[in-house]
Structure 1
Amino acid sequence: LGQPMHAFDADTIKGQKVVVKTCAEGTVFKTLDGIERKLSADDLMICNAEEPMTIAGVFGGINSGVTNQTKNIFLESAYFDAVSVRKTAKRHSLKTDASFRFERGTDPNITVFALKYAAQLIVELAGGTVSSAVSDLYPKPIASFIVQIWYKHVSRLIGKEIPSEEIKSIITALDIKITAETNEGLTLEIPPYRVDVTREVDVIEEILRIYGYNNIEIPSQIRASLNNAVKPDKDAVQNMLANSLTANGFNEILANSLTKSSYSEQPETAVKILNPLSRDLDVMRQTLLFSGLEAISFNQNRKNQNLKLYEFGKVYHQYQDKFEEKHRLSLFLSGNDQPEQWNQKETAVNFYLLKGVVDTLLQKAGLKDFTVEDATSAELDFGLNYKIGNKNLVYFGFVSKQNLNKTDVNQPVFYADFDFDLLLRQIGKNKIVYQEVSRFPAVKRDLSLLVNEQISFNQLKNIALKTDRKLIKTVDVFDVYKGDKLPEGKKSYALSFVLQDEEKTLADKAIDAVMQKLVFNLQKEAGAEVRK
Structure 2
Amino acid sequence: MKIALNWLKNYINITQSPEELSETLTNTGLEVEGMEEIETVPGGLKGLVIGEVKTCEKHPNADKLKITTVDIGEHEPVQIVCGAPNVAAGQKVVVATVNSTLYPNPDEPFKIKKSKIRGEVSMGMICAEDEIGMGASHDGIMVLDTDKPNGTPAAEYFNIESDIVYEIGLTPNRADAMGHIGAARDIKAVTGEAVKFPSILDFKVDNQDLPITVEVENKEACPRYSGLSISGIKVAPSPDWLQNTLKSIGLQPINNVVDVTNYVMHELGQPLHAFNADKISGNTIKVKNLAEGSKFITLDEKERKLSAKDLMICDGDSNPLCIAGVFGGIDSGVKDDTTKVFLESAYFSADSVRKTSQHHQLKTDASFRYERGTDPNITVYALKRAALLIQEVAGGQISSEIQDEYPVAIPNREVMMKYKNIDRLIGKKLEQDEIHTILNRLDIETTDKIETGFKAIVPPYRVDVTREADVIEEIIRIYGFNNIALPETLSSSYMASFPEVDPVKMRKEAGLLLTANGFQEIMTNSLTKPGFSEQLDGFNSKENVEILNKLSEDLGVMRQDLMFTALDVLAYNINRRQTDLKFYEFGKVYKKINSKYKEEMRLGIYLTGKNEAENWIRKNESVKFHDLYSAVLKIFDKFNAESIENEEFHNDCFDYGLKLKIKQNVVAELGKLSKKALKLSGLKQDVFYANVNWEALLKMVNVNIQFEPVSKFPEVKRDLSLVIDDNVSYDEIKKISLKQAQYLISNIDVFDVYQGDKIEKGKKAYALSFTLQDKTKTLTDKIIDKTMDKLMKAFENEIGAVIRK
Counterpart CA distance in 1 for 2:732 and 2:693 is 24
Q: For residue 440 of structure 1, what is the aligned residue in structure 2?
A: 713
Q: For residue 747 of structure 2, what is the aligned residue in structure 1?
A: 474
Counterpart CA distance in 1 for 2:560 and 2:504 is 23
Specify which of 275, 286, 291 is matched with residue 549 of structure 2: 275
Contact 2:546–2:558 under 8 Å retained in 1: yes
Counterpart CA distance in 1 for 2:632 and 2:583 is 13
Contact 1:254–1:311 under 8 Å retained in 2: yes
Pairwise CA RMSD of aligned residues?
2.1
Q: For residue 246 of structure 1, what is the aligned residue in structure 2?
A: 515
Q: Does 1:364 align with 2:633?
A: no
**Cα distance, 1:524 vs structure 2:** 2.6
Greater CA deviation, 475-484 or 291-300?
475-484
Deviations 1:353-377 (A, max 9, x none): 2222222222222224111222324
Counterpart CA distance in 2 for 1:229 and 1:329 is 27
Counterpart CA distance in 2 for 1:445 and 1:318 is 54
Counterpart CA distance in 2 for 1:327 and 1:229 is 25
TM-score normalised by structure 2 residue count? 0.36
Counterpart CA distance in 2 for 1:392 and 1:347 is 31
- The number of aligned residues is 304
Counterpart CA distance in 1 for 2:764 and 2:619 is 32
Deviations 1:248-291 (A, max 9, x none): 22111111112111111310222222332221122111100121
Question: What letter matches 2:551 in structure 1?
Answer: L
Deviations 1:488-525 (A, max 9, x none): 43322221111111111111222222222222322232
Matches within 5 A, 1:274-353: 274-344=548-618, 346-353=620-627
Question: Cα distance 1:233–1:267, how it changes in 2: closer, same or farther (>3 A)?
Answer: same
Question: What letter matches 1:456 in structure 2?
Answer: S
Q: For residue 257 of structure 1, what is the aligned residue in structure 2?
A: 526
Q: Does 1:454 align with 2:724?
A: no
Q: For residue 762 of structure 2, what is the aligned residue in structure 1?
A: 489
Q: Does 1:528 align with 2:797?
A: no
Contact 2:500–2:703 under 8 Å retained in 1: no
**Cα distance, 1:440 vs structure 2:** 0.5
Question: What letter matches 1:308 in structure 2?
Answer: K
Contact 1:270–1:316 under 8 Å retained in 2: yes
Specify which of 405, 411, 417 is matched with residue 691 of structure 2: 417
Counterpart CA distance in 2 for 1:229 and 1:410 is 50
Counterpart CA distance in 2 for 1:521 and 1:430 is 36
Secondary structure of the 1:396 match is strand
Contact 1:339–1:345 under 8 Å retained in 2: no
Q: For residue 176 of structure 1, what is the aligned residue in structure 2?
A: none
Specify which of 657, 661, 665 is matched with residue 383 of structure 1: 657
Secondary structure of the 2:579 match is coil
Question: What letter matches 2:782 in structure 1?
Answer: K
Counterpart CA distance in 2 for 1:276 and 1:456 is 47
Contact 1:453–1:490 under 8 Å retained in 2: yes
Specify which of 211, 232, 237 is matched with residue 506 of structure 2: 237
Matches within 5 A, 1:85-124: none
Question: Cα distance 1:246–1:322, how it changes in 2: closer, same or farther (>3 A)?
Answer: same
Question: Cα distance 1:397–1:512, how it changes in 2: closer, same or farther (>3 A)?
Answer: same
Contact 1:385–1:394 under 8 Å retained in 2: yes
TM-score normalised by structure 1 residue count? 0.54
Question: What letter matches 1:485 in structure 2?
Answer: K
**Cα distance, 1:529 vs structure 2:** 2.6
Q: For residue 74 of structure 2, what is the aligned residue in structure 1?
A: none
Secondary structure of the 1:337 match is coil
Question: What letter matches 1:388 in structure 2?
Answer: I
Question: Cα distance 1:257–1:433, how it changes in 2: closer, same or farther (>3 A)?
Answer: same
Counterpart CA distance in 2 for 1:404 and 1:482 is 28
Question: Cα distance 1:346–1:454, how it changes in 2: closer, same or farther (>3 A)?
Answer: closer
Question: Cα distance 1:349–1:529, how it changes in 2: closer, same or farther (>3 A)?
Answer: closer
Question: What letter matches 1:356 in structure 2?
Answer: S
Question: Cα distance 1:334–1:490, how it changes in 2: closer, same or farther (>3 A)?
Answer: closer
Question: Cα distance 1:523–1:351, how it changes in 2: closer, same or farther (>3 A)?
Answer: same
Contact 1:394–1:418 under 8 Å retained in 2: yes
Identity over aligned residues, as a percent?
42
Question: Cα distance 1:489–1:341, how it changes in 2: closer, same or farther (>3 A)?
Answer: closer
Gaps of 5+ in 1: 1-227
Secondary structure of the 1:254 match is coil
Counterpart CA distance in 2 for 1:458 and 1:346 is 29
Question: Cα distance 1:438–1:483, how it changes in 2: closer, same or farther (>3 A)?
Answer: same
Deviations 1:438-490 (A, max 9, x none): 11001111112222221111110111012222111111111222233333433
Contact 2:722–2:767 under 8 Å retained in 1: yes
Counterpart CA distance in 1 for 2:710 and 2:697 is 28
Question: Cα distance 1:425–1:413, how it changes in 2: closer, same or farther (>3 A)?
Answer: same
Secondary structure of the 2:767 match is strand
**Cα distance, 1:310 vs structure 2:** 0.5
**Cα distance, 1:230 vs structure 2:** 8.5
Question: What letter matches 1:309 in structure 2?
Answer: F
Secondary structure of the 2:546 match is coil
Deviations 1:399-441 (A, max 9, x none): 21112121122322221111111111110x4542220111100
Contact 1:443–1:500 under 8 Å retained in 2: yes
Contact 1:271–1:317 under 8 Å retained in 2: yes
Gaps of 5+ in 2: 1-496, 534-538
Q: For residue 13 of structure 1, what is the aligned residue in structure 2?
A: none
Q: For residue 76 of structure 1, what is the aligned residue in structure 2?
A: none
Secondary structure of the 1:316 match is strand
Question: What letter matches 1:439 in structure 2?
Answer: K
Q: Does 1:503 align with 2:776?
A: yes
Counterpart CA distance in 1 for 2:774 and 2:570 is 50
**Cα distance, 1:315 vs structure 2:** 0.9
Q: For residue 515 of structure 1, what is the aligned residue in structure 2?
A: 788
Contact 1:445–1:496 under 8 Å retained in 2: yes
Counterpart CA distance in 2 for 1:404 and 1:230 is 42
Contact 1:334–1:414 under 8 Å retained in 2: yes
Counterpart CA distance in 2 for 1:252 and 1:269 is 28
Question: Cα distance 1:348–1:520, how it changes in 2: closer, same or farther (>3 A)?
Answer: closer
Counterpart CA distance in 2 for 1:324 and 1:345 is 46
Counterpart CA distance in 1 for 2:584 and 2:765 is 36
Greater CA deviation, 270-279 or 460-469?
270-279
Question: What letter matches 2:532 in structure 1?
Answer: Y
Counterpart CA distance in 2 for 1:371 and 1:273 is 39
**Cα distance, 1:344 vs structure 2:** 4.9
Question: What letter matches 1:458 in structure 2?
Answer: D
Contact 1:475–1:496 under 8 Å retained in 2: yes
Counterpart CA distance in 1 for 2:762 and 2:515 is 43
Counterpart CA distance in 2 for 1:474 and 1:368 is 15
Question: Cα distance 1:229–1:313, how it changes in 2: closer, same or farther (>3 A)?
Answer: farther
Secondary structure of the 2:569 match is helix
Question: Cα distance 1:491–1:349, how it changes in 2: closer, same or farther (>3 A)?
Answer: closer
